Structure 1
Amino acid sequence: MGLFDFFKSKSRKTKDEIDSDSFFEEMKKQMELLRDEEGTELEELPNGEGEFGLSPNNPIPFSSIPDSREYLGRLVYIKPGSSQYSWERAGSLQNKILKTPVDQYNLLDLDSNVVKTIYIWTYNKVNSKKAPEGFGLMDL
């Protein structure tokens, strides 16, 4: 290292990288505020209405989208004669018990027919380990 190398600037972030970092930090803060406001330490929402996970008013609670996707990968539809299936996110919607949106996922058979619809909420403080009626969870 030369004498003047010490004074060279360290790796600087571009304006886009700074804006991106700021954006993600702000999003993280917003998610924490939403979790503090509506999130629980429970695996099922105490004010849920309808069948757990099968009603938009009683979604399966998670603390993040990646955690919900991992759960969906472990979820098994227990139905005699059922074959392979895949998941497809159908969108998000509002419901009558939460301020934040609920995600809707369709269970599709090999012919892309919707077999069941699952509802997930990703603003909780903990991840649910419960499965909706008619489903099970594989161990990893």
Structure 2
Amino acid sequence: MGLFDFLKSKNKKNKQEIETDSFFEDMKKQMELLKNEEGTELEELPNGKGEFGFSADNPIPLSSIPASREYLEKLVYIKPGSSQYSWKRVGSTRSNIVNSPVDIYSLLDTEPKVVKTIYIWPYNKIDSKKAPDGFGLMDI
């Protein structure tokens, strides 16, 4: 600590904090741009192809990555004899119906073995309340 450090403003951010803030602001702007270009206010994308939620060409439309996590926490497997499961993001893929990436999540049982693969598109204007076949959404 220098002799005159008390004169420095305590609100000054270092270069790394400024760059991080700038990065997150840029990401936020990019997300809003994608939502405005392709996002809808529908529970399911109107041009979806394949089984809802189980196809990259008919992903679950949600409004953000945090909304994806919340959705997955509420998702329950309703088939008889089903056990608890966890989920893991395994990457992203391209789709024939939207220009932005579609996220891929594996639903894993307790062994862990993949139960299902779910596709989520986190650039919609609203969060879908629709669940893929064989699943429900619980209220938390």
Alignment pair present for 1:62 and 2:62: yes
Alignment pair present for 1:99 and 2:134: no
Q: Deviations over 1:62-120 (max 9, x none)?
A: 11111110110010011111111111111110011111111111111111111111110
Alignment of 1:34-113 (within 5 A): 34-113=34-113
- 1:124 counterpart residue number: 124
- 1:16 counterpart residue number: 16
Question: What are the ranges of 5 or more consecutive residues in structure 1 without an aligned counterpart?
Answer: 1-6
1:131 deviates by 0.4
Q: Give the share of equivalent positions with the same residue, in percent.
A: 72
Question: What are the ranges of 5 or more consecutive residues in structure 2 without an aligned counterpart?
Answer: 1-6
> CA–CA distance in 2 between the matches of 1:10 and 1:139?
44
Q: Deviations over 1:15-57 (max 9, x none)?
A: 1111111111111111111111111111110010011111110
Instruction: Give the ranges of 4+ consecutive aligned residues of structure 1 lying more than 4 Å apart after TM superposition.
Output: none
The root-mean-square deviation of aligned C-alpha atoms, in Å, is 1.3
Q: How many residues align?
A: 134
TM-score by length of 1: 0.91
The 10-residue stretch of structure 1 (64-73 or 9-18) with the greater mean CA deviation from structure 2: 9-18
